Amino acid sequence: MALTVASGLAYTMGFLWWNGYLPMPYFVQPSDTFMDWFNVAGWANSGGGYEVWRSIYPPLNFVVARLFSLSKCYSASNPYFNHINSRDCDWLGIVTIYSMYLMCLVVVSFSLIKQDRSTSLYRAFALIAGFPMTMALERGNILMLAFLSIVLGYGPLLKSARWRWFAAACSINFKIYLVAGLFGQLLRRRWRWFEGVIVTTIFVYAATYTIYGSGLPITIFDNLTKFLDIVKAETFTETLYAATFNPHIEVLTNNNVPIDVILGNDFTDPMLIIFVTVTRITQVAIVLAAVAIWLRPEVVSTTRATNLALSLALVTVDMSIYSYVMTIFFTFLERWRGFGAKWAIVSAYLLCVHFDYPLTDVVLLVEDSYLGGRIVEVTVYLTAGPFIRPFIFYSIPFALSCATILAVWKDIRLQGWKTRWRFRRDLPIMVGAGEAHPPGIVRGA
């Protein structure tokens, strides 16, 4: 599987060398490389991130972008123009983007080594060199810092509870939807951990709001509402690199673009039924698994509970493909044991592969490629990846949910319904899923 990922990476680099731009499913505008970072950095230095740009990012994003950028490269007089041209001026921003990627490489590698040295090399390579992470690098997206915070906060690397609280709080202040990972701790009934992260999150938000000077929760909520309206109006563009079935469902339900002309009614009508059904089945499976974890928190690992909680949020909301890295990382912490875990691990590898297949061309673009350094012609296709990739992604939480429900059912049959348990604070909390009596837990009849 790791060699398959390596083959996909080699093909992508070869395509870039010969054609001057990255192939789909990477972002279709070769002139826009790294602009997720430089747009944020521009508004961080010139101001107006919430009032003019209508950002939905918490203030921590702007504070970090201002800290690791050269303010002289940005101007408030013409922010859109200068944000684009700042890429050639702000060398510190370029260094920061690659530094975020390298930090993810190091932290992920050490985390997987600590979990299972025998598989760490292959899984770390697949995750770091795979499509979702390299897409985040190409976009220069600050999600890499959010992912780094998730790995440190919920992974096996850090021992200090307070540092883990801080890392988890930073992840929420980078991307709001990552608060879902915290509910995995509630399923494990780790009340103090939950309270610690909530308090730390509020502290980090208050500090960064004070530094940046704007970004009240009501403002972010109002911007989010307007953002969702814009996304609905441009849903067909989102389907070109969809990570879930939500954009497809929006297009097929509202008919805001003539997709039936492209694919035909005989194809699109069953698609809508399949997409909605698969999404609901996955969500129900995760909820049932959450109930099972609540009944027997000692049977399921903390990392799996976190994985399922994050996956539910990712399946429900409209998110970008690079958000897959969250689910992939926690899936790679699973042992190669049991059909459900094996299915999830193989699916995680498949998500890392750089693949797509064109179904029909949509438009021809002529743009200046930043990576290629020349004018290129880009044919934008409607590809098979956005229809196949969500199936693979959804199968991960579904398989782990089924494995969780089965493990809890076996434990109930063995132990009975009435059990008492408690966590000993002086012993590790990172345990393998499916162990009847994992370390750090005392059980009694």
The per-residue pLDDT for range 201-221, each reduced to its tens digit, is 999 999 999 999 888 889 888
Q: Which amino acid is at 72?
A: K
Predicted pLDDT of residue 107 = 97
Q: How many Å apart are CA 375 and CA 377, to the nearest integer?
A: 7
Asked if 353 and 311 touch (Cβ cutoff 8 Å), the reply is no
* Longest alpha-carbon distance in the chain: 72
- DSSP letter, residue 440: T
Asked if 258 and 374 touch (Cβ cutoff 8 Å), the reply is no
Q: What share of the chain is helix, strand, coil (3-state, %, to 5)?
A: 70, 5, 25
Predicted pLDDT of residue 432 = 40
DSSP codes, 178-202: GGHHHHHHHHTT-HHHHHHHHHHHH
Q: How many Å apart are CA 35 and CA 367, to the nearest integer?
A: 15
Predicted pLDDT of residue 442 = 41
* Regions in the chain scoring below 50 on pLDDT: 78, 80-81, 422-445
The per-residue pLDDT for range 266-305, each reduced to its tens digit, is 667 788 889 999 999 999 999 999 999 999 998 999 999 9
Predicted pLDDT of residue 77 = 57
* Burial of 109 per CB tally in 10 Å (0-12, 13-18, 19+): middle
Q: How many Å apart are CA 210 and CA 343, to the nearest integer?
A: 46
Q: How far is CA 256 from the centre of its chain?
A: 27
Distance of CA 178 to CAs 34, 143, 149, 151, Å?
23, 11, 10, 12
Q: Which amino acid is at 12?
A: T
Here the tokens at position 280 are 């609901």
**Of 211, 206, 79, 64, residue with least CA distance to 141:** 64
- Cα torsion 393, 395, 399, 400 to 10°: value is 20
Question: Pairing between strand 420-423 and 441-444?
Answer: antiparallel
Here the tokens at position 99 are 């530094």
Q: How many Å apart are CA 306 and CA 176, to the nearest integer?
A: 15
Predicted pLDDT of residue 338 = 93
List CB contacts of 427: < 8 A, sequence separation 6 or more. 439, 440
Strand intervals (E) in 243-357: none
* Burial of 145 per CB tally in 10 Å (0-12, 13-18, 19+): buried
Q: How many Å apart are CA 237 and CA 22, to the nearest integer?
A: 18
Predicted pLDDT of residue 423 = 45
- Upstream peptide bond of 397 is cis (omega within 30 degrees of 0): no
How big is the CA angle at 139 (ends 322 and 66), to the nearest 5 degrees?
Answer: 110
Number of neighbours of residue 71 by Cβ within 10 angstroms: 12
* pTM, 2 dp: 0.89
Predicted pLDDT of residue 425 = 41
Predicted pLDDT of residue 249 = 82
Asked if 213 and 179 touch (Cβ cutoff 8 Å), the reply is no
Strand intervals (E) in 237-392: 358-369, 374-383
Asked if 145 and 100 touch (Cβ cutoff 8 Å), the reply is yes
**Of 442, 434, 362, 429, residue with least CA distance to 192:** 429
